[in-house]
């Protein structure tokens, strides 16, 4: 029984496996206040770390399988013989979102004009992606697509002249020249 079923208090006959997986991941990866405080103390910017969970969820949405019962025939007692057939499907909009996040995330430096131009292109591309989505998928996964678009645009903003390019933290109080007693050298 998945998280949605537990929250509703009832057993759901048919659920979307991708939605169920996304909900389970979202609940299990929530951060606590102490996690956020630890990151703040260590100077870790969570947005600079690879979007591994997002890419994993998008891959699950992009390529999925469904099983469909197929009537094969009848046995000697005239009972129907049903086999399950696995059908591989894909969602083109999720594949396109994967392409855009894979292309923008590794980028670490652009001049301001190129970054702003690319942000406009990304916005237009995601608008086009939304237009091609079926209504039901737009209703269920539109918020995920918006989150991916925001991540791509934020990354492009961060690449402007490389002002947030690497996970490097320098503290002034740690830089300095120190002398030791007895002329043992300079540290």
Per-residue pLDDT of 60-89, as tens digits, reads: 889 988 888 888 888 888 888 888 888 888
What is the structure's pLDDT at 68? 87
Return the domain boundaries, the chain.
12-63+92-164
- 3-state class of 186 per DSSP? strand
Angle value at C-alpha 130, between 125 and 131, nearest 5 degrees: 95
Cα 171–chain centre separation: 31
C-alpha 153/C-alpha 123 separation (Å) is 8
For the stretch 44-58, pLDDT in tens is 555 555 677 788 888
| pTM of the complete model | 0.57
For the stretch 7-18, pLDDT in tens is 555 444 455 665
- 3-state class of 74 per DSSP? strand
């Amino acid at each position: 029984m998945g998280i949605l079923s537990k929250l509703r208090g009832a057993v759901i006959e048919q659920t979307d496996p991708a939605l169920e997986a996304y909900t389970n991941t979202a609940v299990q990866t929530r951060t606590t206040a102490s996690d956020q405080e630890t990151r703040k103390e260590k100077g870790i910017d969570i947005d600079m770390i690879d979007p591994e969970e997002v890419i994993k969820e998008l891959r699950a949405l992009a390529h999925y399988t469904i099983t469909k019962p197929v009537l094969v025939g009848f046995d000697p007692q005239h009972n129907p013989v049903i086999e399950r057939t696995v059908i591989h499907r894909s969602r083109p909009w999720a594949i396109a979102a994967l392409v855009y996040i894979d292309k923008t995330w590794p980028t670490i430096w652009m001049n301001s004009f190129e970054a702003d131009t690319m942000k406009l292109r990304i916005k237009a591309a995601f608008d086009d992606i939304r237009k091609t989505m079926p209504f039901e998928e737009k209703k269920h996964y539109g918020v995920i697509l918006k989150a991916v678009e925001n991540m791509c645009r934020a990354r492009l903003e961060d690449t402007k002249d490389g002002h947030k390019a690497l996970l490097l933290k320098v503290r002034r109080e740690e830089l300095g020249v120190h002398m030791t007693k007895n002329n043992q050298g300079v540290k």
